[in-house]
Amino acid sequence: MAGMLSLANGDSFKGRWHGGTAPAHGEIVFFTGMTGYEEVLTDPSYKGQIVVFSYPLIGQYGVRAAHVQSDNIQAAGIVVAELYDGPVRKGAQTLAQFAKSADVPVLSGIDTRSLIQAIRESGTMQARMAEASTPPVHLPPATNDFFTGQREESAIATYGEGALHIGLIDFHYKSSILSELLKRECRVSVIPHTLSSEQLDALQLDGLLFSNGPGDPAALAQWFGVYRDWAERYPSFGICLGHQVLASAFGAKTAKLPFGHRGANHPVVNLKTRRVSMSSQNHSYVVEAGSIDATPLTVLYQNVNDGSIEGLCHPELPIMTVQFHPEAAPGPADHLELFSHFLAAALEKKKVKIYA
């Protein structure tokens, strides 16, 4: 069956429609890693986005439960050049089966190189995927605010039995962040981001990890004062949205990149050690460099390609944030050690400078 991808800039691409009972609308973004589609599609930070994979063949190794980052596909739609639909390893589903069970449409046969060039030129924009026979519609603006609507207060779930009790502040966290903490023998409580300070303090936590998450960090502005207070009182680590939120809580500003960073080989440099390492990334927003001077924070990591801020630390308090994903999933494991640095700070439980 023929399918069509229509972009807000007027471009359209014809391909093969693999199901999905309804058209998908969303912001179109591209991911440049050669592997990792299982992790990408289930990463809640991709909520509502149409994801284009630059690697030309996707689905080769199926989908295994061990790799998924949440309980479902979070992306609104999947665009590939070629969808592998042959046999996969025992215990795995094919990507087509996985997408079908989540009712997420897949479009294949797309010239993803031209499509990605169009996104690079026009920036991330609204897009629609539909069966070719579906009449075109005006593309409504998609939401970038996943937090200010009605949100039910979820219960605090606790995992693991270790001596260190870490609060994972949940902005729609990736499961690999939780598993990195559990591997290091922590007890982890997943905390609704709307929790009151009294409830948080009652948990007697040793540290806070501010999670990744979808959309615009500015949607959380009403909580910034609360998060600053928490970060000043607990050893804190922020990842991606958590980094943006903590930076904002200390007075920094965020801006949207034209087409974001999404891939598994983004080089970052640690400005203290001058060490360059490869990072896994998935974000549209960045902390504006010019806004750091107004905060007590200092820049620890910088993106080698475009100079954007990749990480911050506090000169006196045990607070560290990274724009990239130290848990990888997918991508290089160069930054796993940052979890140990954070836990060392939580162990110390002293407000001392620990991030060298």
| Binding region for ligand GLN (CB under 6 A) | 45, 212-215, 240-241, 282-285
Let me know if 313 is a catalytic residue. Answer: no
Min dist CB 85 to ligand GLN, Å, is 29
Provide φ and ψ at 53, rounded to 5°. Answer: -95, 125
Which is closer to ligand GLN, CB of 27 or CB of 206? 27
Let me know if 348 is a catalytic residue. Answer: no
Min dist CB 41 to ligand GLN, Å, is 14
Min dist CB 210 to ligand GLN, Å, is 10
> Which residue ranges are tagged as binding site for L-glutamine?
45, 213, 215, 241, 244, 282, 285
CA distance 353 to 356: 8
The size of the chain, in residues, is 356
Listing DSSP states for 250-309 in one string gives TT--EEEEEEEEEEEEEEEEETTT--EEEEEEEEEEEE-GGGGGGSS-EEEEEETTT--E
Match 């046999």 to its residue by tokens. 87
Among 283, 325, 335, 341, which one carries the catalytic annotation? 325
3-state secondary structure of 179: helix
Among 180, 240, 261, 314, which one carries the catalytic annotation? 240
Which is closer to ligand GLN, CB of 240 or CB of 329? 240
Q: Which residues pair with 209 in a beta bridge?
A: 168, 237
Which is closer to ligand GLN, CB of 20 or CB of 242? 242
> Which residue ranges are tagged as binding site?
45, 213, 215, 241, 244, 282, 285
Let me know if 314 is a catalytic residue. Answer: no
Which is closer to ligand GLN, CB of 151 or CB of 272? 151
Min dist CB 244 to ligand GLN, Å, is 6
CA distance 238 to 317: 14
Q: Which two tokens stand for residue 152?
A: 């039910």
Q: Which residues are catalytic?
A: 240, 325, 327
